[in-house]
A and B are shown apart, each in its own frame.
Chain A
Amino acid sequence: MATETLIWLIPLPPALAFFLIVLFTNKSKALSHTVAVGAAALSWLGSMVVFFRAIGMEHLGEHPFESSIGWLPTGDTWFRIGVLIDPLGAAVLFFVAWTIFMIFLYSVGYQNFGQPKGDHDRMGLPPHGATVTDEHGHKHTVPSVEPMYSRFFAFLGLFAFGMYTLVVSDNLLTMFVGWEIMGLCSYLLIGFWYGKKSARDAAIKAFMTTRIGDVFMLLGISFLYSATGTLSFRAIFTEEVLHVLATTPAFFGLSAAGAIALLLFIGTVGKSAQWPLHVWLPDAMEGPTPVSAMIHAATMVSAGVYAVIRMFPLLTADFTGHGLTTAMSVVAFIGAFTALFSATIAVAQNDIKRVLAYSTISQLGFMIAALGIGAYVAAAFHLITHAFFKALLFLGSGSVIHGMEHGVLHTGDHSVDPQDMFNMGGLRKRMPITFWTFLIGGFALSGFPVITAGFWSKDEILADAWAHHHYTVFIVLAVAAFLTAFYTMRQITLTFLGEARTKEAEHAHETPWTMTVPLMVLAFFAITYGWVGIPEHFPGLGGIVPNWFHDFVGHTLEHVPAAPEFSWIPLLTSLGVALGGLFFGWLVYRNVNSPAEDKLQIPLLKNKWYFDEAYDFLFVKPAYWFSETFVSAWMDKGVIDSILHAFGKVTGWLGSAIRNYIDTPIINEFIGDGTARVAQWFGGRLQPIQTGRIQQYMLASLGVLIIVGGILFSLLVGG
C-alpha cells in the first residue's frame, strides 16, 4: 500500500472501534475489548510501517510523505486538508503508537477483565470487589470487573482517534479537531466514575480550564488564516510567508508571527497544563489510571508540546540568533517557571498519582522552556522519552494501586487509601515486576546517568541552555531537575523500599500479565530510546551510536539546527543533580514512616501554592456571584421578570378594559341583546294579526294588492 494511503488509514481503526462498541458490542465485554485492542494494534501496525518507511527515506525533511484533498471551496481556491509525515511526525507517531497500544492492553487488566461481577457495584463507581467461595468453603473478596467496561474501551478508542488525527494532520484545522476530540474524551474519561462528586468536579475543571486555552488557540488559528490564507504547515513554513509574518507588526510590539505563536501557545498552556492553567491536571487523577497515563502523560499533554514544536518556525520567525524575541521569552519563562514550581509541589504530595501528575507538569515545563530558548531537537527528544517513561510510571503506579486494592480487599479495611504512599512500603518483594519497571521509569525521570533515556534528553536541554548562554533558564531547570530526582526517589523509597507499613501492603499482589507486559515494553523504551540521541562529542560514548535523532528530527526544519557544543559544565550539573537528588531522596526518606515525620510537608507546598484557593477566590467565586447574585437574582428575577410581569399586568388590565367598556356594553348588550330585543318587540306588535283565519289573510292580501296596484297605476298610467 502506498505510504500516503496508509497514513490516511492510521486514525480510522480506533474511531471504528468506538462506533462498533457503542452501537453493537456494548453488551459483551470480551468482544468490546477485542475490538478496541485490535483496533489499537492495527493502528500501531500501520504506524510502525509508516515509521520504518520514513526512516528509510533520504531527505524526508524536504520531501515528506504528504497527501491532501480539497475539502472546502473558498472562492477560487480550496481549503485543503490532508496528512503529513515529516521526520518530527514520524518520531511522534512512533511513541504515540507504542504508548496507545500498551495502554489499551493494560486497561484490560486494570479494569479487572475475567473477574466476577461485583456484589454491590454500580455504574459510575469504581468496582468494590466480589465475594467468591473456594472449594474449601472459604469466602474471599476478590477484585470485581468494572461495570462500564465496554464504555471505557469505547472512550479510549475515540481518544486514540483524536491523537492519531492530530499527529498525522498536515494543517492546523484538523489538528485542532483532533485536539478537541481529545479534550472531550479527557472530560469523559476523567469523569468516568461519575458517581463520585470529586470525579465530576475534576472533569468539569479539566474541561473548563483547557477551554480557556482552546479559545485563544482558535483565535491564533483564525489570525493565522486571515494573515496567510492557509493553515497547511508546509505552506506556512516557507521562508517568504514567515518573513512576511515576521515583519508585519501585530500588537504589544509583537510581530504577527510572534502574536500567532503566542496565541497558539496559550492553547498549549491549557492542554499541557502549564502555569497558570496547570490546575486541572492533578485533579484529573480522579480518572482510572490508564486514563491518567494516556491523557496526562503519553498523549494529550504531549499533544500540547507537539503543537508548539510544530509551530516552532512561527515562534522563531523573527529570531535573529541574538537575544530572545518577546514571544520566545514568554514561552521560556512559563516553561522554566512551571518546571520549578510544580517540582516543588510534587515534593510534598502523598498520593502516588498526584506526585506523578505534578512531575508531568514539571517535565512538560522543561520541554516548553527548551522550545522557548530555541532548543528544537532537545524539546522533541525529551517529549518522546518523557512520554515513554511517564506512561511507564503512571501504568506502574496503577499497578501499585491495583496491588494495594487487592490488599484492601483482603483485609476488608476500606478506610485505607490505596493511593497514599505512606500506606505502602516494601512492595518490591510483593510486586517485583512492577518494582523493577517503576525503578527504571523513575530513574529515567530523574535522569540517571548514561543508562536511561531521561538522562540524554534532559542533558541535551541543559546543554542547549548553557551553550546559548541562557543561564537563568539553565539554573532554574537544573534546580527543577534536582527536585525531580529527589521526589522520584522519595516516591520509590516510600512505595517499594523498606518494610510494609500496613497490613494491606503486606497482602499486595503482583498484577496480571496484561498489566505487566506493557510495563516491560515501556521500560525497554525508557532505557533504549535515549541511545538514539547521544551527542557526538560526549566523552567516551559519543560517536559509538550516531546521533540519529538529532539528524533525523532536525531535518524537519528548513535550517537544520546545529547540535550544541559539548561542555563539561552542563554535563556535570546534570550528573550532579540527578545523582544528588536520588541520593538525598533515599537518605531523607529511608526511615520516614508517616506524614508527621516528613519534614517537607510544608503547608505552602502541600496546598500547591494555594493556586486552587486563589483561583477559587479570583474566578470561581466571582463567577458564582455573578451568576447567582447578578444574573439570576438581579437581572433574571429582578429586571427581566419584572418586565414580564409588567407585560402581564398591562395585558390583563387592557383585557378587562376591553371587556368592561367595549365588549360587554357595546357588543353584548347593544348589538347582541339589542337586536334580539328589537325583534322581540316587533314580534309582539305583529303577533295579533296572525289570526290563523285564511279569509282574513286573503282580505289583507287583497287590500295590499289594491293599494300596490293603485299606486303602480297612478305612477305608470295616471302620472
Chain B
Amino acid sequence: MIPLSWYLILSAALFSIGLFGVLARRNAIAILLGVELMLNAVNINLVAFWRYLDPTVMTGQVFAIIVFAVAAAEVAVGLALVISVYRNRKTVVADELDMMKW
C-alpha cells in the first residue's frame, strides 16, 4: 500500500501550487483557480488521514464533502464578484483593483 506520506507530499505540492497561483497570478480568475487547488489539497489530506487512521469513523469523508460544497458556493460567489468588478472597471487584473486602499 502506498504510504500515507506520499499523499501528504502530493497534497502539500498541490497546496503550494495553489498558493503560488493565488499570490503570483494577476488574473482574478486564476487566483480563484489557485484557491480551488488549495481547497482540494486540503481534501486530499482529509481523505488520506481518514483512510489511514480510522476508516470506521466517517468524519474525514464528511468533512471533504462539506469542503466541496463550500468550494462550489465560494466559486459561484467569487465568479459573480469578478464579473461584477469587470463590468465596472473593465479589468480583472488584481494589481489594478486597489479600491480597498486607504
Residues of A contacting B24 in the complex (Cβ-Cβ under 8 angstroms) = 695
Interface positions, chain A 680-719, Cβ under 8 Å from B, are 687, 690-695, 698-699, 702
Selecting from B47-55, B60-68, B94-102, the interface stretch reads: B94-102
Q: How many A-B residue pairs have CB under 8 A?
A: 32
Of A687, A694, A698, most buried by chain B (CB within 10 Å of CB) is: A694
Of B23, B95, B99, B100, which contacts A698 at CB under 8 A?
A: B23
Residues of B contacting A699 in the complex (Cβ-Cβ under 8 angstroms) = 23
CB A683 to nearest CB in B, in angstroms, measures: 9
Closest Cβ neighbor of A697 among chain B residues: B100
**Contact yes or no, A692 B23, CB < 8 A:** no
**Contact yes or no, B19 A694, CB < 8 A:** no
**Contact yes or no, A693 B23, CB < 8 A:** no
A199 to B99, CA, bound (A): 95
**Contact yes or no, B102 A690, CB < 8 A:** yes
Closest Cβ neighbor of B102 among chain A residues: A690
CB A713 to nearest CB in B, in angstroms, measures: 15
Residues of B contacting A690 in the complex (Cβ-Cβ under 8 angstroms) = 100-102
Of A692, A695, A702, which contacts B101 at CB under 8 A?
A: A692
State whether A692 and B94 are in contact (beta carbons under 8 Å apart), knowing that A702-B19, A702-B23 are contacts in the complex.
no
**B44 CB within 8 Å of chain A:** no
Residues of A contacting B19 in the complex (Cβ-Cβ under 8 angstroms) = 702
A695 to B94, CA, bound (A): 8
Of A692, A695, A702, which contacts B99 at CB under 8 A?
A: A692
**B22 CB within 8 Å of chain A:** yes
**Contact yes or no, A687 B102, CB < 8 A:** yes
A698 to B35, CA, bound (A): 12
A698 to B95, CA, bound (A): 13
Closest Cβ neighbor of B22 among chain A residues: A698
Interface positions, chain B 7-35, Cβ under 8 Å from A, are 19, 22-24, 31
Of A690, A695, A699, A702, most buried by chain B (CB within 10 Å of CB) is: A695
A92 to B23, CA, bound (A): 123
CB B77 to nearest CB in A, in angstroms, measures: 15
Residues of A contacting B22 in the complex (Cβ-Cβ under 8 angstroms) = 695, 698
Residues of A contacting B101 in the complex (Cβ-Cβ under 8 angstroms) = 690-693
Interface positions, chain B 73-102, Cβ under 8 Å from A, are 94-95, 97-102
**Contact yes or no, A691 B23, CB < 8 A:** no
- Which A residues have a C-beta under 8 Å from some C-beta of B? 687, 690-695, 698-699, 702
Sorted nearest first, the 9 A-B pairs with minimum C-beta distance are: A692-B101, A692-B98, A692-B100, A690-B102, A695-B23, A693-B98, A695-B94, A699-B23, A687-B102
21 contacts between A and B (CB under 8 A): A687-B102, A690-B101, A690-B102, A691-B98, A691-B101, A692-B98, A692-B99, A692-B100, A692-B101, A693-B97, A693-B98, A693-B101, A694-B31, A695-B22, A695-B24, A695-B94, A695-B95, A698-B22, A698-B23, A699-B23, A702-B19
- Which B residues have a C-beta under 8 Å from some C-beta of A? 19, 22-24, 31, 94-95, 97-102
List 10 additional A-B contacts (Cβ < 8 Å) besides A692-B98, A692-B101, A693-B95: A691-B101, A692-B97, A692-B99, A693-B97, A693-B98, A694-B97, A695-B22, A695-B24, A695-B31, A702-B23
